[in-house]
């Protein structure tokens, strides 16, 4: 039986995991249903308890089923990604410095492919915009974003001297008050605060999901809606997009032609806008919602519930992916296509990846290679994605990997897990 205290200790001390280096006999995975006995009144998040179980299972699975790979990537050398709140002050400052460094390096994307790309950071935004219709489909969304977030982390390390790893934002911990989280509180060690500066777009009373014109959910205007004016990112420049924004005050991108491959990639330099929404996070990224998602019976259920249901956004259900974007909203946060223009994106997608990783490793035998869906956005008649499909990151990061390579965080190009 796993008590909350034991699980808490595991969360804090990943190196102390009980999984042996090499297992010679097959071992049962942790029966995570016993974890349901942790009282709801405990301040341990159920979603974190499941993540702890997943961490143990993943190691047991790898050592039993992929012993050759386990010799290369195991509990002694795997990287553990942590939430921002667990970073020390100097770790936070190192990360912030590296992100800002990327915005000062020259872009690698040629001018004719991205007239608006001003810096190395924009290469990542441009790749996301360019591939939007192929990476937001059901088939490879999770795998592609895992690769994308990892490549971003690698670039911070290789090109900007960052010594740490990508943090994530643990939605349920701050669901009732995201603006008070260490990631968004506007302090010198945050990723910037709310959008309280400049023109606050006050004539817009709500943000419509899925669209402003035909909203199924109307997110009320929060306290922000203007330029981020506190913390290290108050002078951050957004150069690309928008493509499909819900914010009516965002200046249009000069490139709007959907036929020339440049849509959203014209130069549109502006401030970073946020409108932090506890209304959104408290309803759709709380512990109950995340735990329910983690108990999805198959990949199809996980995928749809993450994105707002099989008939998206009906029954007033937003799903954690959309809700995470609208926890900060604004520009480019509310535009899925150009949203990596806000460095918050990688905190949110770190947590998306952690949720997928948790779900996979609660039952690794069945789930590590589980994929579902087609290769084109919202097109059920397109071909199904397969594990052998290739993925690339354009000019943001060199190379190509397959979806199969991205299914385990302890294999392919990766060697990391989460705490
Ligand atoms: Cu995306």
> Using one digit for the tens of pLDDT, what is the confidence trace for 94-110?
999 999 999 999 999 99
Tell me what pLDDT residue 19 has. 45
Phi/psi of residue 198, each to 5°? 65, -160
pLDDT of 13 strictly over 50: no
Give 29's pLDDT tier (boundaries 50, 70, 90).
confident
Q: For residues 77-87, b (16+ Cβ closer than 10 Å) or e, as one string?
A: ebbebbbbebb
Residue 309 CB burial class (10 angstroms; 0-12, 13-18, ≥19): middle
User: Peptide bond preceding 125: is omega within 30 degrees of 0, i.e. cis?
Assistant: no
CA of 337 to the centre of ligand 1 (A): 7
CA of 214 to the centre of ligand 1 (A): 22
Give 18's pLDDT tier (boundaries 50, 70, 90).
very low
Say which residue, 51 or 26, is predicted with more confidence.
Answer: 51
Give 44's pLDDT tier (boundaries 50, 70, 90).
confident
Tell me what pLDDT residue 380 has. 82
CA of 329 to the centre of ligand 1 (A): 14
Would you say the C-alpha torsion 34, 39, 44, 47 has a positive or negative sign? positive
> Using one digit for the tens of pLDDT, what is the confidence trace for 241-258?
999 888 888 999 999 988
CA of 88 to the centre of ligand 1 (A): 28
pTM (two decimals)? 0.92
CA of 128 to the centre of ligand 1 (A): 6
What integer best gives the mean pLDDT of the chain? 90
Domains, the chain: 85-145+152-362 (1.10.1280.10)
Give 377's pLDDT tier (boundaries 50, 70, 90).
confident
Q: How many CB atoms lie within 10 A of CB 176?
A: 11
Tell me what pLDDT residue 258 has. 85
CA of 153 to the centre of ligand 1 (A): 16
């Amino acid at each position: 039986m796993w008590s909350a205290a034991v699980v808490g200790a595991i969360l804090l001390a990943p190196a102390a995991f009980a999984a042996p280096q090499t297992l010679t006999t097959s071992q049962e995975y942790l029966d995570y249903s016993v974890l349901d006995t942790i009282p709801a009144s405990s301040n341990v998040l159920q979603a974190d308890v499941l993540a702890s179980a997943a961490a143990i299972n993943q190691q047991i699975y790898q050592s039993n089923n992929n012993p050759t790979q386990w010799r290369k990537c195991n509990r002694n050398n795997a990287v553990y990604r942590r939430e921002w709140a667990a970073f020390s002050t100097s770790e936070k400052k190192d990360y912030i410095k590296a992100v800002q460094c990327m915005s000062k390096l020259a872009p690698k994307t040629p001018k004719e492919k991205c007239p608006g790309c001003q810096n190395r950071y924009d290469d990542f935004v441009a790749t996301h915009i360019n591939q939007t219709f192929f990476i937001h489909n059901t088939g490879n969304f999770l795998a592609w974003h895992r690769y994308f977030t990892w490549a971003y982390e690698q670039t911070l390390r290789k090109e900007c001297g960052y010594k740490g790893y990508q943090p994530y934002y643990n939605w349920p911990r701050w669901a009732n008050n995201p603006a008070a989280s260490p990631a968004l509180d506007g302090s010198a060690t945050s990723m910037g605060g709310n959008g309280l500066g400049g023109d606050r777009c006050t004539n817009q009373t709500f943000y419509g999901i899925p669209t402003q014109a035909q909203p199924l959910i109307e997110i009320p205007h929060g306290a922000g809606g203007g330029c981020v004016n506190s913390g290290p990112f108050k002078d951050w420049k957004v150069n690309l997009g928008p493509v499909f924004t819900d914010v009516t005050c965002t200046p249009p991108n000069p490139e709007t032609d959907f036929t020339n491959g440049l849509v959203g990639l014209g130069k549109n330099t502006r401030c970073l806008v946020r409108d932090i929404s506890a209304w959104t996070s408290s309803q759709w990224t709380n512990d109950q919602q995340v735990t329910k998602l983690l108990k999805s019976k198959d990949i199809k259920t996980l995928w749809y519930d993450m994105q707002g249901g099989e008939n998206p956004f009906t029954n007033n259900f937003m799903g954690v992916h959309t809700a995470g974007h609208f926890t900060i909203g604004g520009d480019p946060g509310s535009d899925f296509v150009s949203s990596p223009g806000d460095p918050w994106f990688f905190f949110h997608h770190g947590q998306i990846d952690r949720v997928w990783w948790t779900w996979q490793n609660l039952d690794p035998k069945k789930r590590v290679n589980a994929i579902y869906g087609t290769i084109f956005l919202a097109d059920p008649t397109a071909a199904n994605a397969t594990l052998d499909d290739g993925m690339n990151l354009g000019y943001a990061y060199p190379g190509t990997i397959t979806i199969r390579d991205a299914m385990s965080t302890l294999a392919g190009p990766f060697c990391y897990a989460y705490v």
